[in-house]
Amino acid sequence: MKKLGFFGGSFNPPTYAHINIAKMSIEKFNLDAVYFVPVGNLYNKPSLIDEKYRYKMLQLVCGDKIKVENVELNRKETLDTLQAFNLIEEKYKNDETEIFYIMGADNFEKLPNWKDSKKLVEDYQYIIFKRDGSNLEQCIEKNQILKKNRQNFKFLDLQQYADISSGIIRELIKKEDYEKCKEYTDAAIVQYIKENKLYL
């Protein structure tokens, strides 16, 4: 059975935390590949740069088992979570493939309040990465839908790079401290940001 992980986010820009989560998911859960799934330009988030740049930055850190999926890009309308999952499943799911959706504890805790939450919880499998302070067991116990579908959740402790965020990198770029950025993301990404004058 082939196992694939899909990790959605803005990746604005990608960080060592994103890369580490993909690598740890592959290692811990024996995934054959993890696909980053960047949101498109219609996603309502401050400071979000054009999807073409974020897609390219993700490509710079891809390898044999880490890839990028562009299902949410070049769209005239935003996709909700269920629509995005359906498109991914149409493309990748078959009798020989198991799919996991990778998300942070902060999103997991909100999952019961999302549109189509019952279907999202019952029909899909997740790898949840947690930083210090996330009490996911308590979150599951408090919600009947989560509790009933506990078998659909796998957990990943994010140890290294837990405190890194895209926002830190964007702030450093405003100060043009590109050397310091290399502590938080891959040097190839830093070079690409610098060459294209992004986030200034």
Summarised one tens digit per residue, pLDDT across range 63-117 is 999 999 999 999 998 899 999 999 999 999 999 999 999 999 989 999 999 999 9
Summarised one tens digit per residue, pLDDT across range 111-153 is 999 999 999 999 999 999 987 667 888 889 989 999 999 999 9
Check pLDDT > 70 for residue 191.
yes
CATH architecture observed for domain 2-162: 3-Layer(aba) Sandwich (3.40)
d(CA 32, CA 27) in angstroms, rounded, equals 9
d(CA 88, CA 64) in angstroms, rounded, equals 19
d(CA 32, CA 64) in angstroms, rounded, equals 9
Prediction pTM value:
0.95
Q: Cα-Cα-Cα-Cα dihedral of 128, 134, 138, 144, to 10°?
A: -40
Q: Which helix (H) or strand (E) holds 100?
A: strand 97-104
Task: Give the CA distances from residue 149 to residues 10, 96, 118, 172, in Å, rounded to whole numbers and listed in that order.
Answer: 27, 22, 10, 42
Q: Which of 86-90, 155-159, 194-198 has the lowest mean pLDDT?
A: 155-159
Q: What is the mean pLDDT of the chain?
A: 94
d(CA 128, CA 31) in angstroms, rounded, equals 14
